[in-house]
Amino acid sequence: MVRPSNHNAQMVGDYKLERTLGKGSFAKVKQAVHTKTGERVAIKIISTKDANQHALRRIKTEISVLRMIGHPNVIQLKEVFASESRIFLVMELVSGGELLDRLALDRVFPVDVARKYMIQLLSAIDHCHKKGICHRDIKPENILLDEHGNAKVSDFGLSALYEQGFRATVLATACGSPHYVAPEVVSRGKYDGRAADIWSMGVLLFVMLTGTVPFSAQNIKALFTKIKGGSFVIPDHVPADARSLIERLIVVNPADRATMEEVAAHPFLQGKLGVLQPTA
Ligand code: ADP
Ligand code: MG
């Protein structure tokens, strides 16, 4: 659908652009207001002139995946339109910023806050997995907070349908923080993206409770070696139930790693993720 933008540079379609909310590797995200309804939204803008094939593939993936998903903890896509030189993704606006910024301010979260985010995000990811979608880029800059402190998964640019099986490539991690990537993703061969998402959630829980990443190194090669080795130390202050969940999520062999069903039954989540039905 092509809807020519207004001559006024501050207008796109029926929306008036306001401040810039964020910049990712491929896109600019602006706050905007619908001139007739007054509704505020976030618009992700990609210049098709400047974008390379990889960026265009990312945005196409993001559009088709977001159209399949409807979950309170996933950023909602409202509409998509394009001008001659740009693609616009109109999304629900969340005003609490990135989880990354919240972490930078607070350093560690109280256990109950970390638990709440885990329940919300795992619920969102389980929903995606049941639709056949893996996120593959779970990290604090891709998790946004709304004004009530609820977490929403965003940035599905690297997501994919897992049925096809993934060929592991380091490329997929080259554009973001590599600290959250699962060992099988940086190795050769095919992998199940669902298990890779579970690993990333383990790293996220570790970070929320300790303020540090479980694996760090001077360079990316050394970091990937550590991730594949899989040994990490959980500080003493982390409570036993959280520790035991981290130890089931950050497991090098994906076949031994907890499945979503096992995660849901884990005492740390207090049954709040509900009873999940096994997926095929
Ligand atoms: P990229 O694919 O380029 O990484 P993202 O989708 O991650 O782009 O968006 C970049 C940044 O823009 C986010 O990290 C966030 O700060 C901001 N942002 C994205 N979507 C929204 C939204 N719906 N509401 C508020 N801010 C957003
Ligand atoms: Mg991003």
Structure confidence by residue, pLDDT tens digits, 223-251: 999 999 999 999 999 999 999 999 999 99
Point out the ligand 1 atom lying closest to the alpha carbon of residue 93: 24
Is 44 a known ligand-binding residue?
yes
Residue to probe by mutation, ligand 1, list 19, 29, 175, most atoms within 8 Å of CB:
29
pLDDT of 143 strictly over 60: yes
51 lines ligand 1 (CB under 6 A): no
Distance 89 CA to ligand 2 centre (A): 14
Q: State yes or no: ipTM above 0.90.
A: yes
| Residue (of 137, 130, 110) closest to 199 by Cα position | 137
pLDDT of 77 strictly over 90: yes
Q: For the chain, what percent of residues have pLDDT higher than 70?
A: 89
96 lines ligand 1 (CB under 6 A): no
pLDDT attached to residue 170: 44
Q: Is 256 a catalytic residue?
A: no
Taking the C-alpha atoms of residue 21 and residue 40, their distance in angstroms, rounded to an integer, is 12
pLDDT of 171 strictly over 90: no
pLDDT attached to residue 6: 47
Q: Which ligand is nearest to the CA of 27?
A: 1
Question: pLDDT band for position 182 (50/70/90)?
Answer: very high
Across the range 27-49, mean pLDDT stands at 94
Q: Which of 14, 106, 137, 155 is catalytic?
A: 137
pLDDT attached to residue 166: 58
Nearest CA to ligand 1 atom 11: 22
Q: Tell me the whole-structure pTM to 2 decimals.
A: 0.90
Say if CB 27 and CB 46 are below 8 A apart: yes
Of 66-80, 93-107, 157-171, 213-227, where does mean pLDDT reach its minimum?
157-171
pLDDT attached to residue 3: 57
